[in-house]
């Protein structure tokens, strides 16, 4: 009877822990950064911050996501404007892909600038949390990317 109670308590603990992990992943994997600037100014400041960051580039043209959805008669109801930018630092990308090619599926880094109810935001992956998920070289690169992305965001938003 005691063994059954211990096993049951263990299983209940696992279920509760899994719930917290899922809640945390949903709430912390993607981050919203409010901007003090309007949509166009935020975009210009973001472009400048990325271009001034050593080694960072826009390897793919920006994507006018909201415009694309309007063309398909599926406009977003949650945002007024949405533009996505893709950034990359070749030094990090080379090491990451050479070490683990499947990591290319989450590259390059995406930054979403959007306007909702007259307020502008930048949405990003929470790179420091990604660093917690991985080990080894991936962890070191995610930590570096997290620091450098935070610096670019600081220059954009402040």
In the chain the first and final C-alpha atoms are separated, in Å, by: 61
If pLDDT is split at 50, 70 and 90, which confidence band does 28 have? confident
**25 pLDDT tier (thresholds 50, 70, 90):** low
112-156 pLDDT, tens digit each = 999 999 999 999 999 988 888 888 999 999 999 999 999 999 999
Cβ(97)–Cβ(123) below 8 Å: no
Domains of the chain: 31-157 (3.30.310.70)
The pairs formed by 33-38 with CB atoms below 8 angstroms and a separation of 24 or more are 33/121, 33/122, 33/123, 33/124, 33/153, 33/157, 34/119, 34/120, 34/121, 34/157, 35/113, 35/119, 35/120, 35/121, 35/122, 35/156, 35/157, 36/157, 36/158, 37/120, 37/157, 38/120
Q: How much is the pTM? A: 0.82
Higher pLDDT among residues 8 and 67, named by residue:
67
Provide DSSP, 9-35: HHHHHHHHHHHHHHHHHHHHSEEEEE-
pLDDT on residue 115? 97
């Amino acid at each position: 009877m005691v063994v059954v109670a211990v096993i049951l308590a263990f299983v209940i603990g696992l279920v509760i822990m899994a719930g917290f992990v899922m809640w945390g992943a949903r709430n912390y994997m993607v981050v919203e950064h409010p901007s003090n600037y309007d949509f166009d100014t935020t975009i210009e400041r973001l472009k400048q911050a990325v271009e001034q960051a050593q080694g960072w580039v826009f390897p793919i043209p920006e994507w006018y996501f909201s415009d694309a959805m309007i063309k398909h008669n599926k406009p977003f109801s949650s945002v007024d404007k949405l533009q996505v930018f893709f950034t990359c630092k070749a030094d990090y990308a080379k090491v990451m892909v050479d070490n683990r090619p499947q990591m290319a599926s989450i590259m390059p880094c995406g930054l979403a600038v959007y306007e909702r109810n007259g307020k502008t935001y930048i949405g990003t992956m929470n790179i420091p949390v990604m660093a917690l998920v991985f080990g080894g070289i991936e962890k070191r690169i995610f930590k570096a990317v997290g620091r450098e992305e935070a610096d670019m965001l600081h220059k954009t938003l402040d």
